[in-house]
């Protein structure tokens, strides 16, 4: 019951924001934003609390890039840093971890781009009959 009510509230906000002609703000955690909420009227996505899984974060970003988007979308990721300890803050380390996970998934899931790529994939996994 509470989950249905929460989804109805999100849908109401979504409809309101998608029809907005003036600037409007909508603050949502990444998890609810990943349940099918499309906000094409948004052109700024701000990640105040980072998620450990880059796919969740990417899905949240994609909600603003849906069909019907007419404005350029900007993604903001504020990081807390300390001038005496460069590259050592939790936010900076988490940002590097998320980016390395994102790169790993892109490289592992990327389709082959040429014949040599296909040959090298099969050579390591399929043994030819002799």
Return the higher-pLDDT residue of 24 and 14: 14
Q: What is the average pLDDT score of the chain?
A: 75
**What distance in Å separates the CA atoms of residue 42 and residue 38, rounded to the nearest whole number?**
9
Q: What is the pLDDT of residues 66-111, one digit of tens each?
A: 777 788 888 888 999 989 988 888 999 999 999 988 888 877 766 6
Judge whether residue 115 has pLDDT over 60. yes
CA angle 88, 90, 96 (to 5 degrees): 80
User: In the chain, which residue ranges form alpha helices assigned H by DSSP?
Assistant: 2-19, 30-33, 54-62, 90-109, 115-125
Q: What is the DSSP letter of 5?
A: H
Q: With 0.85 as the threshold, say if the pTM is over it.
A: no
**What pLDDT band is residue 45 in, cutting at 50, 70 and 90?**
confident
Helix %, strand %, coil % of the chain (to 5): 50, 5, 50
* DSSP secondary structure letter of residue 57: H
| pLDDT tens digits, one per residue of 62-77 | 877 777 778 888 888 8
pLDDT higher for 98 or 12? 98
Q: Give the separation between CA 124 and CA 114, rounded to whole angstroms.
A: 16
46/20: higher pLDDT: 46
What is the mean pLDDT of the segment spanning 39-55? 80
For residue 44, the cross-strand partners are 74
What integer pLDDT is reported at residue 130 of this predicted model? 57
């Amino acid at each position: 019951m509470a989950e249905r009510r929460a989804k109805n509230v999100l849908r109401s906000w979504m409809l309101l924001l998608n029809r907005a002609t003036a600037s409007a703000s909508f603050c949502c955690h990444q998890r609810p934003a990943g349940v099918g909420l499309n906000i094409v009227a948004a052109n700024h996505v701000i990640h105040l609390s980072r998620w450990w899984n880059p796919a969740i974060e990417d899905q949240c970003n994609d909600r603003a890039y849906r069909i019907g988007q007419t404005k350029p979308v900007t993604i903001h990721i504020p990081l807390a840093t300390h001038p005496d300890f460069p590259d050592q803050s939790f936010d900076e380390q988490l940002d590097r971890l998320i980016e390395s996970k994102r790169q790993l998934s892109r490289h592992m899931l990327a389709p082959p781009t040429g014949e040599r790529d296909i040959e090298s994939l099969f050579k390591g996994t399929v043994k030819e009959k002799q």
